[in-house]
Amino acid sequence: MSLTLVIGNKNYSSWSLRPWLAMKQAGIAFNESTVLLARPETKEKILRYSPSGRVPCLIDGQLTVFDSLAVCEYVNEQHADGTLWPRDVAMRAQARSVVSEMHSGFAALRTHMPMDIRSRDADKGQTALRREDVAADVARIQAIWTEYLSQGGPMLFGSFSIADAFYAPVVTRFATYDVKLSPLLAAYSDCVLSLPAMQQWIAAAKAETETIES
Ligand SMILES: N[C@@H](CCC(=O)N[C@@H](CS)C(=O)NCC(=O)O)C(=O)O
């Protein structure tokens, strides 16, 4: 097997979860290499693999693909026959739009509701939601989910796509911070959380002992 995905701690590294989940869902075989985040040696260790100094990155023989979205696009083209995006061109464009919105946005949500799979902290969620910027991010994400799930589900664009991989860390955040969901969105969250690969990631996150304070 020549593919190696370099990732951070499963409890905290939301960017790592995205391509990891997409690759598992596509049935792609790969090795994992973990660099623990937030340690004095983290940057130097990541730089051994990834020129950006960030994880995730994918090593395929001589090629290094860094950045979560670039990895998803690469494995979709090279190892998944294009099945990780919707077949329909309009749906594919919409899926790419919401993925890009996640990839480049929602800074307030990411700052004030960081992924912390093991934790349950409704108080921190309430405090965060009192901020206008966090409330706006949550409302926008819920509007995106509602718009696409209303077209049929069970995943955002029917069957699993990179869009679900990109919003999977948000599903875990809403559980961690007890964000209230409509029945439609709760059903979607349950669907994502019950994917065997998500269960595997969550179990591994719970088994980790390292903690990152902020
Ligand atoms: N835009 C990048 C963001 C990657 C990123 O920020 N990764 C974090 C971990 S989730 C990281 O590597 N941080 C480096 C560090 O903590 O030193 C992507 O989509 O892959």
Asked if 13 and 55 touch (Cβ cutoff 8 Å), the reply is yes
Return the ∠ at Cα 213 (arms to 100 and 185), rounded to 5°.
40
Q: Determine how many CB atoms are found less than 10 A away from the CB of residue 82.
A: 10
Nearest residue by C-alpha to atom 20 in ligand 1? 67
Decide if 3-83 and 89-199 have a common fold: no
Ligand 1 atom closest to the CA of 8, numbered from 1: 9
User: DSSP H helical segments within 80-154, as ranges?
Assistant: 89-104, 107-112, 122-129, 132-149
Order of all β-strands in the sheet with 3-7: 31-34, 3-7, 57-60, 63-66
Name the architecture of domain 89-199.
Up-down Bundle (1.20)
Strands (E) located in the chain: 3-7, 31-34, 57-60, 63-66
Q: What are the structural domain ranges in the chain?
A: 3-83, 89-199
The whole-number pLDDT of residue 1 equals 54
C-alpha 28 to ligand 1 mean position (Å): 22
C-alpha 191 to ligand 1 mean position (Å): 26
User: Which residue, among 68, 57, 37, has the nearest Cα to 214 in the 3D structure?
Assistant: 37
- Please, which residues have CB within 8 angstroms of residue 84's CB and are 6 or more apart in sequence? 22, 25, 26, 72, 75, 76, 160, 161, 162, 165
The CATH number of the structural domain formed by 3-83 is 3.40.30.10
Parallel, antiparallel, or unpaired for β 31-34 and 57-60?
unpaired
The whole-number pLDDT of residue 138 equals 98
Q: What are the backbone angles phi and psi of residue 80, rounded to the nearest 5°?
A: -135, 10
Taking CB atoms and a 6 Å cutoff, what residues make up the pocket around ligand 1? 8, 13-16, 37, 42-43, 54-56, 67-69
pLDDT tier at 213 (50, 70, 90 boundaries)?
confident
Half-sphere exposure in the Cβ direction for 196 (13 Å, CA): 5
- Average pLDDT taken over every residue of the chain: 97
Half-sphere exposure in the Cβ direction for 22 (13 Å, CA): 34
Nearest residue by C-alpha to atom 18 in ligand 1? 67
pLDDT tens string 45-98 = 999 999 999 999 999 999 999 999 999 999 999 999 999 999 999 999 999 999
| pLDDT above 80 (res 214) | no
pLDDT tens string 141-183 = 999 999 999 999 999 999 999 999 999 999 999 999 999 999 9
